[in-house]
């Protein structure tokens, strides 16, 4: 699993009350705070999941403009959205430079050779 060995014993997992989160927290030996999202309130005004729900909503609305995306490239779309979400209020020149630098840091598996050697079937 991706998170194996990365969570401290002081980690608190805030989630809905789905059983998989409870089992995950037990397996990772971390505290689990189950929230009832339908009641729209936090536990002791400390724990909540509104940030995650807000981010998820913004991401889904942003993805709608593409009329569907390939799950193969979902990580790329997520990285693009995270950059825009974090830097949306910066001046244009700064954003342009940041996009250029960040795009150079993302590994690309496609090369000129792999694209050139791809066979295409044209309809007759």
Tell me, yes or no, whether 123 lies in a domain: no
Run means of pLDDT, 10 residues per run, the chain, 124 residues: 77 86 88 77 70 90 89 85 79 75 73 68 57
Rounded to an integer, what distance in angstroms lies between the CA atom of residue 53 and that of residue 32?
18
- DSSP 8-state symbol, 71: G
Question: What confidence score (pLDDT) does residue 60 get?
Answer: 93
Question: What is the value of pTM for the model shown?
Answer: 0.57
Q: Would you state the structure tokens that stand for residue 70, as one six-digit string? A: 């390939």
Residue 47: φ, ψ to 5°: -95, 135
Tell me, yes or no, whether 122 lies in a domain: no
Q: Would you state the structure tokens that stand for residue 122, as one six-digit string? A: 């044209």
Tell me, yes or no, whether 113 lies in a domain: no
Question: What confidence score (pLDDT) does residue 69 get?
Answer: 85
Residue 76 shares a structural domain with residue 97: yes
| Domain carrying residue 43 | 9-48
Tell me, yes or no, whether 31 lies in a domain: yes
Give Cα 88 distance to the centre of its chain: 17
Question: What confidence score (pLDDT) does residue 63 get?
Answer: 92
Tell me, yes or no, whether 118 lies in a domain: no
Residue 72: φ, ψ to 5°: -60, -35
Question: What confidence score (pLDDT) does residue 64 get?
Answer: 92
- Would you say 15 and 24 are in contact if contact means Cβ atoms under 8 Å apart? no
Domain count along the chain: 2
Residue 65 shares a structural domain with residue 101: yes
How many residues belong to the chain? Answer: 124
Question: What confidence score (pLDDT) does residue 108 get?
Answer: 67
Tell me, yes or no, whether 90 lies in a domain: yes
Residue 24 shares a structural domain with residue 65: no
Residue 14 shares a structural domain with residue 44: yes
């Amino acid at each position: 699993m991706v998170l194996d060995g990365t969570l401290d014993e002081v980690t608190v997992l805030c989630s809905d009350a789905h059983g998989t989160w409870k089992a995950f927290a037990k397996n990772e030996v971390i505290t689990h705070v189950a929230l009832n999202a339908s009641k729209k309130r936090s536990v002791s005004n400390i724990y909540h999941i509104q940030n995650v729900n807000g981010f998820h909503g913004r991401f889904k609305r942003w993805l709608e403009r593409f009329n569907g995306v390939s799950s193969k490239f979902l990580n790329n779309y997520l990285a693009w959205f995270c950059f825009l979400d974090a830097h949306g209020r910066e001046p244009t020149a700064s954003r342009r430079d940041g996009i250029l630098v960040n795009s150079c840091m993302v590994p690309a598996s496609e090369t000129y050779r792999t694209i050139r050697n791809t066979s295409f079937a044209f309809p007759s």
